[in-house]
Amino acid sequence: MDEFGLIQRHFQDLTSARAGVVLGIGDDAALLQVPAGYELVVSTDTLVAGRHFPHQTAPEAVGWKALAVNLSDLAAMAAEPRWFTLALSLPEADEAWLSGFAGGLRALAEPHRVALVGGDTTRGSLAITITVLGLVPAGQAIRRSGARVGDLVCVTGTLGDAALALRRLDAAAQGDADLMLRERLDRPTPRLAAGLALRGLASAALDLSDGLAGDLRHLCAASGLGAELDPEALPQSPAFAELSRELSGDQRFELQAQGGDDYELCVCLPPARLAEAQARLAALNLPLTVVGLMQAEAGLRLRYADGQSSPITATGYRHF
């Protein structure tokens, strides 16, 4: 089967009607209609086999994660996803793999009603690039640059699950807790509803892909501020708590703040808005935990219960 047949067979049903698609797959480019009063929000992310996911990852998980990490960036901007493009580099046209991959994409694309509107298919080592396009009412996107001194640094969900799953990939034990962590690595949930719920409340936000210590540094730089973090406050899932019991506090902090792959939102909030933000996210069954404080002094610091502080030198995940 050539690449045109491959697209027809596996991806055609991902193109089902979505408002605003003037012209989808099939021409040299797609034509999309942006409604009056909205801004177009665009983000792109690549997954490379062996770098962003273990080589043995199920094709369904690869499809899910490729779209999820892109949707996560739109969630952080408080945007609603509408359309996506898919650039696929494949070593061979393996029908079973493609069918699983398309199924993983569909499992996320359908409930969020995001339509595939174009892409590119080539032979090469396995890599997936998705560009997601979404909408936000003009002026309402949440940026990295809006944090103020005294804002609380909060995170959705729990941190460190995926990083611990990666660390335990070759562990012999594969009980329920390991399976739960592996789900968090393979099938992250983009926090789209949380992003929308935080519109009008959050002063700044970004999604956590490289680890809190690294990503918060980007937010601090964009806002011209620094921050302190309470290492004891970083939220743990029950599976993380169970399987990290034998680790030291430093090792746990490393997984939770430097491991990456969390795909949770990090949000800055004036203290007076915390209760409302937590109530809105509780309605989505999502905890919002205060982990730190924005400060005028540049850089990141750890603040301990006894009042002592020490600089955080760690960065997040770095490719180079």
Ligand X SMILES: Nc1ncnc2c1ncn2[C@@H]1O[C@H](COP(=O)(O)OP(=O)(O)OP(=O)(O)O)[C@@H](O)[C@H]1O
Ligand Y SMILES: Cc1ncc(C[n+]2csc(CCOP(=O)(O)O)c2C)c(N)n1
Look-up: residue for tokens 């601090």? Answer: 220
Q: 79: which residues sit within 8 A by CB, 6+ positions away?
A: 41, 134, 135, 136, 141, 195
Residue 45 binds to Mg ion (criterion: CB under 5 A): no
Burial of 27 (0-12, 13-18, 19+ CB in 10 A): exposed
Please say which residue, 73 or 178, places its beta carbon nearer to ligand X. 73
Residue 223 binds to ligand X (criterion: CB under 6 A): no
What residues form DSSP beta bridges with 155?
266, 289
Please say which residue, 207 or 261, places its beta carbon nearer to Mg ion. 207
Residue 209 binds to ligand X (criterion: CB under 6 A): yes
Helix then strand count (H, E) for the chain reads 10, 13
224 binds, among ligand Y, Mg ion, ligand X, none (CB under 5 to 8 A by kind): none
261 binds, among Mg ion, ligand X, ligand Y, none (CB under 5 to 8 A by kind): ligand Y
- Indicate the SS3 state at residue 205: strand
User: Closest-CB residue for ligand X?
Assistant: 209
Q: In this chain, which of 21, 53, 73, 205 binds ligand X, going by CB under 6 A?
A: 73
Cα 195–Cα 226–Cα 300 angle in degrees, nearest 5: 100
Query: What is the separation of C-alpha 8 from the centre of its chain, rounded to a whole number of angstroms?
Result: 29
Residues of the binding site: 28, 43-45, 52, 73, 119-120, 144, 207, 209-210, 261, 317
- Indicate the SS3 state at residue 196: helix
* Interface residues toward ligand Y, by CB under 6 A: 45, 50-54, 166, 209-210, 260-261, 317
Please say which residue, 148 or 218, places its beta carbon nearer to ligand X. 218
Residue 178 binds to ligand X (criterion: CB under 6 A): no
Distance (Å, whole) CA 89 – CA 120: 8
Q: 193: which residues sit within 8 A by CB, 6+ positions away?
A: 284
Residue 45 binds to ligand X (criterion: CB under 6 A): yes
Q: Which parts of 64-83 interact with Mg ion (CB under 5 A)?
A: 73
Footprint on this chain of ligand X (rule: CB under 6 A): 45, 73, 209-210, 218
Footprint on this chain of Mg ion (rule: CB under 5 A): 73, 207
